[in-house]
């Protein structure tokens, strides 16, 4: 997949732990871990909205496109 999830970078910038974010947005730490590692096929817009609200960021701050990343 050429879309790379940069959630871990934004968590570090906001000095927030995954556990705190998971609690704030109402998902399990396991699901958040899967999202951070890119082991998901998709993400609900509602979840993306909650993450952006909690981290005070834009969706583009959490996603990057890297050509050739899917090879």
* Residues near 45 by beta carbon (within 8 Å), at least 6 away in sequence: none
- Fold observed for domain 3-65: 434 Repressor (Amino-terminal Domain) (1.10.260)
Q: What is the pTM of this model?
A: 0.87
Q: Are strands 63-65 and 3-5 parallel, antiparallel or unpaired?
A: antiparallel
CB 36 within 8 A of CB 7: yes
Boundaries of every domain in the chain: 3-65
Segment 4-63, tens digit of pLDDT: 999 999 999 999 999 999 999 999 999 999 999 988 888 999 999 999 999 999 999 999
The answer on pLDDT for 1 being more than 70 is: no
């Amino acid at each position: 997949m050429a879309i790379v999830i940069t959630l871990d970078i934004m968590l570090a910038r906001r000095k927030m732990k995954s556990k705190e974010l998971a609690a704030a947005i109402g998902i399990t730490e396991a699901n958040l871990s899967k999202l951070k590692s890119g082991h998901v096929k998709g993400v609900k817009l509602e979840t993306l909205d909650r993450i952006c609200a909690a981290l005070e960021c834009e969706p583009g701050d959490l996603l990057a496109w890297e050509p050739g990343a899917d090879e």
